[in-house]
Structure 1
Amino acid sequence: MKRVVITGMGTINPLGNNIADFWKNAVSGKSSAGIITRFDASKFRTQIACEVKDFKPDTYLDRNEIKRSDLFTQYALYSASQALEDSELNISQMDPFDIGVIWGVGQGGMETFEQEVENYVTGNYVPRFSPFFVPRLIVNMASGMISMKFGLQGINYTTVSACATANTAMMDAFNYIRLGKAKVFVTGGSEAPITAASIGGFSAMKAMSVRNADPLTASRPFDKDRDGFVMGEGAGALILEEYEHAKKRGAKIYAELVGASMTADAYHMTSPHPEGLGAAKAMQLALEEAKLNPTELDYLNLHATSTPVGDIAELNAVNKTFREASNLWVSSSKSMTGHLLGAAGAIEAILAVKSINENIIPPTINIENPDSEIPHGIQIVTKKPMHKNIKTAMSNAFGFGGHNSTLIFREI
């Protein structure tokens, strides 16, 4: 089968509105959490989130694109524009049916939905809905509008697998290129969940941190005092390209995508399997596809969201998979970015790729009292970045419903 490489990247997320700022702030161990400004959350159990700062959609979007799209689609268009610009692809000289878009979105237009329902109720239930209500709401509009913006007529759809969503999208794009169904994909994920209903819903489940008095330290994976995740928002985009096509046009290549796998826990609606059986199998299958021994992996960007159950379940899975791998170091970037739900896998894949390029592992911040349940031998990068020769990097993303996904990147 054909080889697949990364030739462009773009992002907007709580740590930066471009790749350079994102990487700099991640390596610096900067927390992006703060009191919610998007709406009045003063009466909510959770009042904090990791918000995108200084978003200027008109940098890449025209007036009509902004008017017709929810924030999750705007984030998608913004990051995809960066990634295509970074790739230096000359789309006008390619067959448009050779370039597709597979994009991940977990929730879709929550803000649009809330606004339209509120208008309906406050208007004495008079049905005056916007003609853009449905197009702004539905999750597939992100992939659709990316294709329209750039004239990309290849395979086009949106994946949904909760917080594993972006990894699912990238895995699908990877497989279609390997099978010769396309030469290039714009892929990744976006999410805009900092809304009253979304924050309220996750808060009601007691899945989110209530460390409202100290938001900067609220996301604290593996710390014994962790009390839930911190919501994030934004998008990450990667250009996946068939290797020979990239080489022929002289493209810069960041890394090669060599393994991708998904499994299901078949265990619980929201909790992972406590022994991490499904997660371990996903990592094992990805390693097999990449033709790597566990001892050959250098870095693993964990899903680790800062929930009491999820963090240890994932480390149990890592312990099963990499029991003999003394070279492996792990970290959780969600300690800085918060949890971007359907976009999480995309920005974490970018960090995995950058770790290979720069030979640096971003730290896990806010671990003050390590959980005693952390399996012996797990090596977590904490407080400061680690400088290390990195040739291979893995990125995990797991979601409600028992979805497990793993990607592996390799130096090229």
Structure 2
Amino acid sequence: MSSTVVVTGLGAVTPLGATAAETWQAALAGTPGAHTLDNDWAEKYEIPVDFAATVPAEFTADKLKKVEAKRLDPSSRFALVSAREALADAGLRSEDGTSDLDPERTSVSWATGIGGVWTLLDAWDTLREEGSRRVMPLTVPMLMPNGPAAAIGMDIAARAGVQTVVSACASSTESLGQAYEMISSGRADVVVAGGSESAIHPITLAAFSSMRALSRRTDSPETASRPYDVDRDGFVMGEGSGAVVLESEEHARARGARVYAQLAGWGLSNDSHHITANEPEGVHALRAMRLALQQGGLEPGDLAHVNAHATSTPVGDIPESIAINQLLGGHVDSALVSGTKSMTGHLLGGAGAVEAIFTILALHNRLAPPTINISEVDPKVNLNIVRDTPAELPAGDLAALSNSFGFGGHNAVVAFKTA
């Protein structure tokens, strides 16, 4: 007998806020997270992009012990801070860091797209400039892609399994799906799921710029991410973390937990089309969405909201819009579509988790967050896009999707229901 999976805790560190609540309020206000970077990278390395959506240092200051921060890559720091917030929000972590979690029934399903790139490249600089003896002994565990998952797992003694998903920009949505499977199958009662990324570095900016994936609106960074706009010219790099505490409904009910929403199901597919480009008709993205609905016992008409992947790339937005339109059919006008990367930027492997949080809170608060920076919708897009200000969702039982698609053709979708 499969267990119903519910959401009981949320945590986030993003360009918009130091917590999930702050991030949500900033998103509702249509706050742009992108800004010109305070460094000389563009000039020094001749990078045509000099802006991104970064997490201000004060958002994580004093939230980790000095010894913890020193031994963690920035991606792991974001992960640990957001996971602790989510556990506290779920009532599973006290102020002194203790909890009543059963280690044998607790798991972590975490994700990243790139891993500890800062640690890796800083270590390379140290090796070249100061020699091998100056390379930190903890360099390898800090740069490993499973570093964030391991940090969370050790923090809460999660012995039912600690796993890492690496599937580019679909990573953390897939991590939620894997967590769903663990709880649904009875292998765990509680799973901390999500993803983190800290990859705003000269090498990534240069590489994404070289492939012309990034917006080059250097004169107006705050309006550079503009999903579905006719003049979109690429995505904006972002960083941060999103954590979701998932539980079996029985476990949550037994302890009297507040429930935000139900994780009803998820879908996974692959385009097998191109290493970076989406399949142009959205065929396999559509399949992932249909699988999520099918597992959740949902119909397209049940959907009140979709948080779209919507990166703001000239090519990428269209296949997804085609797929969503085909999924909804005659219900296309009743489902409100949001492109929240217009505010957060693209958090790569952490994007899906943060956008799942937006989707959960949209259902919980009956509000769909806005998509900012749209001057004119691309005529190829036929969706009911929420623009500039939040839109109310109707009363009653509702469902919503959160979509993520990544390089390599990865498609991952999670479906939520109102609690």
Alignment of 1:159-198 (within 5 A): 159-198=165-204
Q: For residues 287 and 192 of structure 1, what CA distance do their matches in structure 2 show?
A: 32
2:329 partner SS = coil
- Per the TM alignment, residue 126 of structure 1 is displaced from its structure 2 partner at its CA by 5.2
1:261 partner SS = strand
Q: For residues 207 and 25 of structure 2, what CA distance do their matches in structure 1 show?
A: 33
1:122 partner SS = helix
CA deviation digits over 1:245-301, x for unaligned, max 9?
A: 100100000000001011000100000011001100001111111111101100000
Q: 1:161 to 1:34 in 2, by over 3 A?
A: same
User: Residue 68 of structure 2 aligns with which residue?
Assistant: 65
Query: In the alignment, does 2:349 pair up with 1:349?
Result: no
Q: For residues 20 and 59 of structure 2, what CA distance do their matches in structure 1 show?
A: 16
State the identity %.
Answer: 41
Q: 1:365 to 1:127 in 2, by over 3 A?
A: same
User: Residue 381 of structure 2 aligns with which residue?
Assistant: 374
Query: In the alignment, does 2:397 pair up with 1:394?
Result: no
User: Residue 415 of structure 2 aligns with which residue?
Assistant: 408
**1:167–1:397 contact (8 Å) kept in structure 2:** yes
Q: 1:194 to 1:94 in 2, by over 3 A?
A: closer
Q: Identify which range, 18-27 or 264-273, moves more after superposition.
A: 18-27
2:32 partner SS = coil
**2:71–2:142 contact (8 Å) kept in structure 1:** yes
User: Residue 324 of structure 1 aligns with which residue?
Assistant: 330
Q: For residues 242 and 113 of structure 1, what CA distance do their matches in structure 2 show?
A: 38
**1:110–1:198 contact (8 Å) kept in structure 2:** no
1:351 partner SS = helix
Query: In the alignment, does 2:112 pair up with 1:111?
Result: no
Q: Which one-letter code corresponds to 2:82 in the other structure?
A: S
Query: In the alignment, does 2:8 pair up with 1:7?
Result: yes
1:273 partner SS = coil
Alignment of 1:199-278 (within 5 A): 199-278=205-284
User: Residue 362 of structure 1 aligns with which residue?
Assistant: 369
Paired residue for 2:291, among 281, 285, 289?
Answer: 285
**2:30–2:370 contact (8 Å) kept in structure 1:** yes
Paired residue for 2:81, among 63, 78, 82?
Answer: 78
1:369 partner SS = coil
- Per the TM alignment, residue 94 of structure 1 is displaced from its structure 2 partner at its CA by 3.8
Q: 1:165 to 1:57 in 2, by over 3 A?
A: same
Gaps of 5+ in 2: none
**2:103–2:156 contact (8 Å) kept in structure 1:** no
Q: Which one-letter code corresponds to 2:393 in the other structure?
A: K
CA deviation digits over 1:119-158, x for unaligned, max 9?
A: 22234x6564221111110010111111112222221011
Q: Which one-letter code corresponds to 2:166 in the other structure?
A: V
Q: For residues 79 and 252 of structure 2, what CA distance do their matches in structure 1 show?
A: 23
**1:105–1:160 contact (8 Å) kept in structure 2:** yes
Q: Which one-letter code corresponds to 1:384 in the other structure?
A: T
User: Residue 151 of structure 1 aligns with which residue?
Assistant: 157
- Per the TM alignment, residue 69 of structure 1 is displaced from its structure 2 partner at its CA by 0.7
Q: Which one-letter code corresponds to 2:185 in the other structure?
A: L
1:257 partner SS = strand
Q: Which one-letter code corresponds to 1:360 in the other structure?
A: L
**1:280–1:321 contact (8 Å) kept in structure 2:** yes
**1:114–1:197 contact (8 Å) kept in structure 2:** no
**2:233–2:314 contact (8 Å) kept in structure 1:** yes
Q: For residues 100 and 23 of structure 2, what CA distance do their matches in structure 1 show?
A: 32
Q: For residues 65 and 283 of structure 2, what CA distance do their matches in structure 1 show?
A: 47
User: Residue 104 of structure 2 aligns with which residue?
Assistant: 97
Q: For residues 36 and 189 of structure 1, what CA distance do their matches in structure 2 show?
A: 24
**1:38–1:194 contact (8 Å) kept in structure 2:** no
User: Residue 48 of structure 1 aligns with which residue?
Assistant: 51
Q: 1:240 to 1:39 in 2, by over 3 A?
A: farther
Q: Which one-letter code corresponds to 2:21 in the other structure?
A: A
1:366 partner SS = coil
Q: Which one-letter code corresponds to 1:27 in the other structure?
A: L
- Per the TM alignment, residue 38 of structure 1 is displaced from its structure 2 partner at its CA by 6.0
CA deviation digits over 1:303-362, x for unaligned, max 9?
A: 000000110110011111111113111110000000000000000000001001111111
Q: Which one-letter code corresponds to 2:378 in the other structure?
A: D
Tell me the TM-score normalized by structure 2.
0.95
Tell me the TM-score normalized by structure 1.
0.96
Q: 1:38 to 1:171 in 2, by over 3 A?
A: farther
Q: For residues 40 and 4 of structure 2, what CA distance do their matches in structure 1 show?
A: 46
**2:289–2:413 contact (8 Å) kept in structure 1:** yes
User: Residue 36 of structure 2 aligns with which residue?
Assistant: 35
**1:98–1:183 contact (8 Å) kept in structure 2:** yes
Q: For residues 144 and 39 of structure 1, what CA distance do their matches in structure 2 show?
A: 34
**1:60–1:77 contact (8 Å) kept in structure 2:** no
Q: For residues 38 and 96 of structure 1, what CA distance do their matches in structure 2 show?
A: 44
- Per the TM alignment, residue 58 of structure 1 is displaced from its structure 2 partner at its CA by 5.0
After superposition, the CA RMSD in angstroms is 1.4
Q: For residues 76 and 4 of structure 1, what CA distance do their matches in structure 2 show?
A: 22
Q: Which one-letter code corresponds to 1:190 in the other structure?
A: S
Q: Which one-letter code corresponds to 2:199 in the other structure?
A: P
